[in-house]
Structure 1
Amino acid sequence: MAYERKISKDQPFSGKALGDFGSNGEDGGPRRASADDMLAVLGYQSELTRSRSTWQVAFMSFVLASVPYGLATTLYYPLIGGGPVAVIWGWVAVCLIIICVAVSLGEITSVYPTAGGVYYQTYMLSPAWCRNITAWICGWAYTLGNITITLSVNFGTTLFIIGCVNIFTDDAGVGIWTATTWQTWLLFVAITLLCNAISALGNKWLPMLDTFAIFWTFAGVLAIIVSILAVAKNGRHNASYAFGNFTASSGWVDGWSFFIGLLHAAYATSATGMILSMCEEVRQPATQVPKAMVGTIILNMICGFIFLVPLCFVLPPIEELIVLAQPFPYILSSAIGNKGGAFALTVPIIVLGICCGTGCTTASSRCTWAFARDGAIPGSHWWKKVNTKLDVPLNAMMLCMVVEILLGLIYFGSTAAFNGFSGAGVIFLTIAYVMPIFVSLVTGRKSLKAGAYDFGAFGIFCNVVAIAWTLLVTPLFSMPSYLPVPASGMNYASVVFVGGTLISAIWYFAWGRKNYQGPPAKEEAVIRRRSSMIVVE
C-alpha cells in the first residue's frame, strides 16, 4: 500500500512519521516502497513530478557534459598546455579519474537519492558532532559550483558564437565582428535568459530535448570528423604527431603545463554529479541515477576520443592557434578551406551549447531549491517554493540567473573571465563531490550496506582516486593558464572561489551556527528504515 502521509515542508520531519513508515510487510519481511516512499524516509515530501526514465536521466547526464561543446569551447587550454598529447591523453586520463568519482558517488546515491545530492549525503554520513558544518560547507560548494558552471557554459557559448562569426574575415584577414565588452556581455545575458526560459516554460518537454540532443550530438560529430578528414585542405599529420607530439606553450615547466591543460577535460566532465539534483524527478533514483552517472562518463570518453583524434590530425601550427580565444572555428576553417562550410559545421556545437546551458540551468535550480528548503540560504522561504503550474522551483531558478548575470560583469575587468568561471566551477564541484566520498571512506563505508551498490575493494580504490584528484584540482585551476600574466589575463577562479567561500562563512556565523539544523531526517533512523525497504524497480 502506498504511503499517504503528507509531510509539511515547513515543519521538521518527525521521528514518529519515520517510525510509522518503517513497518515491515505482513510477513515480517521488508516492505516494497516507491521512490516517493523512499523520499519520505529521507525527510521530504515529494513536490516535483517524477517524469524521467532510466534512459531519459542518462540522456540528461550526457547533455550536462555535452562533450563536443565542452571540448570545443575550451580547446585553447590543452593546446597551450601540451598540444596533441594534452588534448587526447589528458582527456582519457581525466575521464578515467571521473569514472572513479562517479562510481564513488553512485554507491552513496543508492542510499540517499535526494535533490540535495552530495550536500544531503555529507550530512548523513558525517559524525553527529560535525555534520552541520560539513554539510554547510558541502552545500555551499555544491550550490556555487552549479551556478558558476552554468554561468561558464553560457559564457562559453557566447565566446564560441563570436569566434564562429569571425570565421568570416575582411580583406585584411580580420574577423568581421570585433565584439566590444558590452556586446559580449549582452549576448551572454540573452543566452542566459533563453536557457532559463526553455527550462522554466518547457519543463515537461525537457526529456524530449535531451533525447534530441543525443542524436544531434552524434550527427554533428560525424559530420565534423568526416568533413575535416576527407577534405584536409592543408594535409594531415602522421599518427606520431597526432598521438605523441608535446609542445608546451604556456610558459610553465612541461609537467605543470600538461596539468594546466587538464582544465579542458575537467570542465567537460565537471557536471557529472549535477545530475544528482534531479533525483526527485526520476522514477527509481536509487538505481537509475548511479547507472546514468557512470554509463554516460564512459560514453562521453568514447565520444570525446572520437571527436578529438581527427582534430589532432588536421591541426594548424600551434603558434597560430594559441593566440585565439576560440581556436576550434579556426581549425575547421583551415581544414575545410571554405568559410561557409566551416561555419555550418559549428552550428551543431552552438545548438549543443544552448542544450547544455538549459540542462545546467535545470540542475542548478534544483540544487539551490534543495539547499534552500533546509534553510541554508538567505531568504530560503522564497527560494524553496515550487511553482506548481510550471512544476519547477522558479524562484530558485531566478536567483541563480541573477547571480550568474551579476558574476558575468567580471568580464569588464578581465578578458580571461571565462577561465575564472570555469576554473571556479570545477573547484567548487570537485570539493563538493569529494566530501561525502571522503566521509564515507573514513567512517568505514558502513552506510553503503543499506544501498543498492557496494563495490568493496574497487570502491575503496575509486574513493582514493577521487580524493587525490581534488587535492590536485584545487590549486591547479586557481593558477593562470599562461606566463607571464598581464592584468587583463588574471585567473579570477581564486577570486570567485574565495568570494563564495567568504559569503558562506559570514552567513554561517551570522545565522547558521545557531539556527541551521540540516536535513529533517537523521542518519541513524534513515539507515534503519532504508534497510527494511525494497525500493520498487
Structure 2
Amino acid sequence: MDHSTNKGQFEAQHASGTDVGLTGANDAEMHHRRSSSTDFQADQALEALGYKPELSRSRSTLQVAFMSFVLASIPYGLATTLYYPLIGGGPVNIIWGWLGVSMIIVCVAASLGEITSVYPTAGAVPPHLTNWCEALQRVLSGFHACSPSWRRLASWICGWLYVVGNITITLAVNFGTTLFFVACINVFEKEPGVGVFEASTYQVFLIFLAITLFCNAVSALGNKWLPILDTVAIFWTFAGVLAIMICVLVIAKNGRHSAAYVFGHFEANSGWPDGWSFCVGLLHAGYATSSTGMIISMCEEVHQPATQVPKAMVLINLANGQPVPTILKDAVGSAQGAIGLLIPIMVLALICGIGCTTAASRCTWAFARDGAIPGSRWWKTVHPGLDLPLNAMMLSMVVQILLGLIYFGSSAAFNAFSGVGVICLTAAYATPIAISLANGRKHLVDAKFSLGKFGVPANIIALAWSILAMPLFCMPSYIPVTAATVNYAPVVFVGATLISAAWYVVWGHKNYDGPPTNDSTF
C-alpha cells in the first residue's frame, strides 16, 4: 500500500482549500457533512490521519457514554463471574478485589483516553493504532534507533491483540449469557437440588448460537436504533439493580451476615495459596471492566470523538454495580421472586452482547482497512444500505462460533474465553501506554484530554496491572486441574499469535505499511 500518495493528495488538497474526503461526493453528502461543524472537523481530523470517513457520526456525547456503560455492563459482568471470587477469597475478594481493580482500570481508561484524544480513529488509542496500530508507529517514531520495519511489526502485533481481544470478549459475553440463562431457568426445580433444564453440552451450544445470531442481527439491522437502546439500558440497569438491592435487603429470607463478615471475611476454596487465590479471583473484576477500551472502536461514529470518547471511557469506570440465581433465590425465598429479579440482568446481558458485537465488528473492519487481516478486501467494505461493516461483523461472528466449539471439550470454556479476552485487551492497552511513557509522553503535550501531572502515575499503575493480569488470567481458577477444567486461554492466545505471525511472514512483512500517516519519518 502506497501511503505516500495518500499523504501527497491530502497535502495538495489542503493547500488548495479543497475539503479532503468530499471531492467527488454528491451534493447531498456535502450538505450533510457541512451541516454539523463539529462532525466536519472530526472528519477532517480523521482524514489528517489518512483515512476516508465512511461511517455516519450518529452518536452524541451522552450516547457514547451510554454505550460505554453498556459495554461494561457492570451488574451483568459481576453476576456471570461471581464464581471466581467466591472460591478465590469470598466477601473480601468480591468487595475489595472489585474496588481495587476498578480504581486501577480508571487509570488504564484515563491513559488510553489521553492517547485517543490525540488520534481518534476506530482502532485507535495511540496514533492511528487502527487497533492501536498507528499509535504505536507514531510513538515509536520518537525512538530514532527504531527502524520503520520494527514500528510496523509492533503495530501489527498490537492490532492483532486488540482485534482478538474484542472478538473473544464478545464471545465471553454471549457464552456467559448462555450459562447465566441456563442457571436462571434452573431456579425452578423438579426436585430439591435438581433444575428443570438438564442443559446438555449440545443444548448449551445451541443456546449460545441463538444468542450470538440474535446479537448480530440486532446490531446489523437495527444500527440506527442502537443509541436509543443504549439509553434505555441505562435506566433499565439502575431500576433493576435498585429492585435487587431493596428486595434482597428487606426480605433476607435466610438472615443477614454482620458487617465484619461482609467486609472482612476471607475464605479461599480454590486450592491455591491464599494470596494467589485472591489474585485469581480478580478475574471477576478484570472481566467486568476489561471492555473499557472497546468504546474506542466507535470513534468514527461519534460527534467530537477527541474529547467525548475519552470522557466516556473514564466516566464509566466510576460506576458500581452463575451462582447469582441461586443466591437470589435463597435471599427472597422463592423461584418466582428470584426470576423476577433476574430478568433485568438477563435483558442487560443481551444488550451488552449487542454492544460488544457492534464494537468488535468496527475494530475488525478498522484493522482490515489497513490490510492486516487475510482477505481484507472483503472485510474492509462498508454495506451502503446498513451503513456498517457487515462483512467484518460476519467474520467476527464466525470466529466466535468456531471458538465456542471448545465447550465440547472443556466445561471451563467460559474461563478460557473471558481469560483470553482480558489478556489480549490488557496487552493491547498496555503496549501504547508503555511506549508513550518510555518516549516521555511527548506526543500528548497538546492532548485535548490531558491528565497533566497525574499522567505518569496513571501510566505506571496501568502497566503494573498489565504485568500482573496477563499471566494471572492464564491460570486455572482452581486446583487440582483436569483436562475438562484446565484454562484454555493460553491455547487460544497462542493460536491467535501463530496465525498473526504466519500471516505477517506470508504477506505482512512485504506489504503491510501500517496505517497511513503524514509523518515524514515513515
Query: TM-score, normalized by length of structure 2?
Result: 0.91
Aligned partner of 2:175 in structure 1 is 155
Tell me which residue corresponds to 1:175.
Answer: 195
What is the distance in 2 between the residues matched to 1:46 and 1:341?
50
Structure 2 gaps of 5+ residues are 18-36, 125-131
Judge which range, 162-171 or 11-20, deviates more: 11-20
The residue number in structure 1 matching 2:104 is 97
Checking the alignment, whether the CA contact within 8 Å between 1:65 and 1:269 is kept in structure 2 is: yes
Give CA-to-partner distance per residue, 1:63-91, whole Å, 9 cap, x none: 00101100000000000010000000001
Establish whether residue 385 from structure 1 lines up as the match of residue 375 from structure 2: no
Query: Following the alignment from structure 2 to structure 1, what is the Cα–Cα distance between the partners of residues 4 and 229?
Result: 37
- Of 282, 285, 297, 2:305 maps to 285
Q: Secondary structure at the match of 2:445?
A: helix
Q: Does 1:515 align with 2:516?
A: no
Q: Percent of aligned positions with the same letter in both sequences?
A: 63
8 Å Cα contact 2:3/2:517 also seen in 1: no
CA RMSD of aligned residues (A): 1.8
Q: What corresponds to 2:29 in structure 1?
A: none
- Whole-angstrom CA distance in 2 between matches of 1:16 and 1:10: 11
Question: Per the alignment, in what secondary structure is the counterpart of residue 478 of structure 2?
Answer: coil
* Alignment of 1:463 onto 2:459: yes
* Equivalence for 1:313: none
Does the 8 Å CA contact 1:70/1:268 hold for their aligned counterparts?
A: yes
Which of residues 85, 90, 94 in structure 2 aligns to 1:87? Answer: 94
Write the letter of the residue equivalent to 2:134.
Y
User: C-alpha displacement at 1:486, in angstroms?
Assistant: 1.7
Q: Counterpart in 2 of 1:73?
A: 80
Whether contact under 8 Å (2:7, 2:50) holds in the other structure is: no
Q: How big is the shift at 1:524? A: 5.2
Return the offset for 1:13: 5.5
Q: Secondary structure at the match of 2:118?
A: coil
Alpha-carbon distance change, 508 to 248 in structure 1, aligned in 2, over 3 angstroms: same
Kept in 2, the 8 Å contact 1:141–1:428? The answer is yes
What's 1:123 paired with? 137
Of 185, 192, 211, which aligns to 2:231? 211
Given that 2:409 and 2:484 are in contact with CA atoms closer than 8 Å, whether structure 1 keeps it comes out as yes
| Offset of residue 12 of structure 1 | 6.3
Distance 1:524 1:73 in 2: 48
Structure 1 segments of 4+ aligned residues over 2 angstroms from their partners: 9-25, 453-457, 522-526
1: distance between equivalents of 2:511 and 2:428? Answer: 22
Aligned to 1:330: 326
Counterpart residue number, 1:367: 363
Q: Which residue of 1 aligns with 2:8?
A: 16
CA distance in 2, matches of 1:439, 1:404: 31
Q: Is the 8 A contact 2:365 2:379 kept in 1?
A: yes
2:306 and 2:166 map into 1 onto residues whose CA distance is 21
> Offset at 1:123?
2.5
Question: Can you list the C-alpha shifts for 1:399-427, whole angstroms capped at 9, x where unaligned?
Answer: 00000000000000000000000000000
Structure 2: distance between partners of 1:499 and 1:13: 36
Q: For 1:490 and 1:76, locate their aligned partners in 2 and report how far apart those are by CA, in whole Å.
A: 16
Amino acid corresponding to residue 168 of structure 1 in structure 2: F
Q: CA deviation at 1:522?
A: 3.8
CA distance in 1, matches of 2:359, 2:69: 13
Shift of residue 19, structure 1, vs aligned partner: 2.4
The 1-side partners of 2:134 and 2:166 are apart by: 15
Q: Indicate the larger mover: 133-142 or 114-123.
A: 114-123
Cα distance in structure 1, aligned partners of 2:429 and 2:76: 23
Contact 2:187–2:329 (8 Å) recurs in 1: yes
How far apart are 1:23 and its partner, in Å? 5.7
Which residue of 37, 41, 45 maps to 1:38?
Answer: 45
Does structure 2 conserve the Cα–Cα contact (< 8 Å) formed by 1:84 and 1:242? Answer: yes
Paired position in structure 1 for 2:66? 59
Match of 1:426 in 2: 422
User: Aligned match of 1:255 in 249, 259, 275?
Assistant: 275
CA distance in 2, matches of 1:275, 1:517: 25
Letter in 1 for 2:164: L
Task: Tell me what 1:347 maps to.
Answer: 343
| SS of structure 2 residue aligned to 1:518 | coil
Contact conserved, 1:13 with 1:44, CA < 8 A, in 2? no
Match of 1:241 among 243, 261, 269: 261
Work out whether residues 48 and 518 of structure 2, in 8 Å CA contact, stay in contact via their aligned partners in 1.
Answer: no
* CA shift in 2, pair 1:10/1:154, >3 Å: farther
Report the equivalent of 2:26. Answer: none
Q: Distance in 2 between matches of 1:393 and 1:11?
A: 22
Equivalent in the alignment of 1:402:
398
Distance 1:14 1:136, change over 3 A: same
Secondary structure at the aligned position of 1:233 is classed as: coil
How far, CA to CA, are the matches of 2:12 and 2:99 in structure 1?
49
SS at match of 1:183: helix
Distance 1:178 1:51 in 2: 44
Q: 1:21 Cα shift?
A: 5.6
Task: Give 1:276 deviation, angstroms.
Answer: 0.4
1:124: Cα distance to partner?
2.3
CA distance in 2 between counterparts of 1:72 and 1:524 reads 50
Give the deviation of 1:444 after TM superposition: 1.1
Do the aligned residues in 1 keep the contact of 2:88 with 2:269 (CA within 8 Å)? yes
Structure 2 residue matching 1:78: 3-state secondary structure: helix
Once the two structures are TM-superposed, the CA of residue 47 in structure 1 deviates from its matched residue by: 0.3
- Amino acid in structure 2 at the alignment position of 1:145: G
Q: Report deviation, 1:465.
A: 0.9
Structure 1: gaps (5+ residues): 1-8, 26-30, 305-325, 527-537
Question: Matches of 1:13 and 1:51 in 2, distance apart?
Answer: 30
The whole-number CA distance in structure 2 between the counterparts of 1:64 and 1:370 is 19
